[in-house]
Amino acid sequence: MTTESAPRVTTDAKPSAPGSSRAPREAGTPAPGAGFTRRPRLQAKSVLKHAILISAAIIMIYPLLWMVVSSFRPSEDVFRAPGLWLTEAHLENYATGWNALTSPFSTYLLNSAIVVLGAIIGNLVSCSMAAYAFARLDFRGKKWMFAAMLVTIMLPIHVVIVPQYILFSQIGWVNTFAPLIVPKFLATDAFFTFLMVQFIRGIPKELDEAARIDGAGHPRIFLRIILPLMTPALATTTIFTFIWTWSDFFSQLIYLTSPNVFTVPVALRSFVDAQSSTDWGAMFAMSVVSLLPVFIAFLIGQKFLVKGIATTGIK
């Protein structure tokens, strides 16, 4: 066991090292000897490193685990049980929390689901169209439009929210989901347009040209060639839109003021306000319910999430 793990530690410490500088040293020193002198130090170091990383990981994740555990405990335990040990699972908090507001919590989950679904479809359709134009088409003013698109990624929402609110309230859209969904059909989440532009640029142009020779126009090339090939970018967009829209608070707080259209974040917020004597157990239970979809999306889409931020470098 130990002799086997030793060379693995050394190779792990220096991956992909075909560099000329290391080659002679490796060849010069007999493997067992080198392992002998290096192993204890390297191993101790690696153990220490893992110990630090694991402690850090526990500290990072402890609050979340504690919230989950506490949601299964009697409410008053929130203030006296800092541990993670659960003797018996109480489900009362979930029952209380579910029915604590004017509507059962399922209403808010459904409302959030509608907003999220609308936002996902909107982003997929509008951003992929805009991205195709920016990545593949040659048109007047492209450079400036592209620059404008990039700048809007960084624009604070607050400089537009007041007139947007006025606009939407005049068309009677306050307390509907339209202000949260319609803008997504207009490619306002420029981040995703950018992500897709990056992706389309990586698709060989020869494919487009071959299709064009066969007589395909741009709509056909877009639908038949580019869209099927960019599914990873579409998946990344779907997952990010899901997570961000599900957690988005500011715009939902502003546009949704009557309880029957509350989404999950707005409902949770009114829960905090309504509870003067604060039933933390029930609040934790509903918080856990609200985080669960994000957590599941994270588990399913981790690969796309990690790739998405690594390639675009945003968020």
Partner 1 sequence: MSALAELGSLKKSGGNKAQGKVKRTFKDNRAAFVFLAPWIVGLVAITIGPMLISLYLSFTDYNLIQEPNWIGGENFTRMMQDDRFWNSLRVTLTYVIVGVPLQLGLALAVAMALDKGIKGLPFYRSVFYLPSLLGSSVAVAILWKQMFGTSGLVNQLLAMVGITGPGWISDPSTALGSIILLHVWTFGSPMIIFLAGLRQIPAMYYEAAAVDGAGRTTRFLKITLPLLSPIIFFNLVLQIIGAFQSFTQAFIVSGGTGGPSDSTMFFTLYLYQRGFGQFDMGYASAMAWVLLVIVGAFTAVNFYASKFWVFYDD
**E-strand stretches of 75-161:** none
Please identify which residue in 1, 27, 60, 89 interacts with partner 1, judged by CB under 8 A: 60
Q: What Rg do the C-alpha atoms of the chain give, in angstroms? A: 26
Asked if residues 315 and 250 have their Cβ atoms less than 8 Å apart, the reply is no
Stretch that binds partner 1, among 34-42, 56-64, 97-105, 106-114 (CB under 8 A): 56-64
Q: How many chain residues bind partner 1 (CB under 8 A)?
A: 110
Asked if 188 touches partner 1 (CB under 8 A), the answer is yes
Smallest distance from partner 1 to CB 243, Å: 6
Asked if 274 touches partner 1 (CB under 8 A), the answer is no
| C-alpha–C-alpha distance, residues 158 and 161, integer Å | 5
Asked if 85 touches partner 1 (CB under 8 A), the answer is no
Asked if 55 touches partner 1 (CB under 8 A), the answer is no
Residue 268, token pair as written in the block:
């949770």
Asked if 114 touches partner 1 (CB under 8 A), the answer is no
Stretch that binds partner 1, among 88-96, 100-108, 228-236, 242-250 (CB under 8 A): 242-250
Asked if 145 touches partner 1 (CB under 8 A), the answer is yes
Smallest distance from partner 1 to CB 146, Å: 7
| C-alpha–C-alpha distance, residues 180 and 188, integer Å | 11
Q: Which of 263, 254, 256 is nearest to 293 (CA)?
A: 263
Distances (CA, A) of 153 to 149, 189, 273: 7, 7, 33
| C-alpha–C-alpha distance, residues 72 and 298, integer Å | 23
Asked if 63 touches partner 1 (CB under 8 A), the answer is yes
Asked if 1 touches partner 1 (CB under 8 A), the answer is no
Contact positions with partner 1 (CB under 8 A) in 14-53: 14-17, 19-22, 49-50, 52-53
Asked if 273 touches partner 1 (CB under 8 A), the answer is yes
Asked if 65 touches partner 1 (CB under 8 A), the answer is no
Residue 99, token pair as written in the block:
């029915």
- The site string for partner 1 over 201-240 (x = CB under 8 A, - otherwise) reads ----------------xxx--x------------------
**Contacts for 291-297: CB closer than 8 Å, 24+ residues apart:** 291/64, 293/242, 293/246, 294/242, 294/243, 294/246, 294/247, 297/239, 297/242, 297/243, 297/246
Smallest distance from partner 1 to CB 179, Å: 10
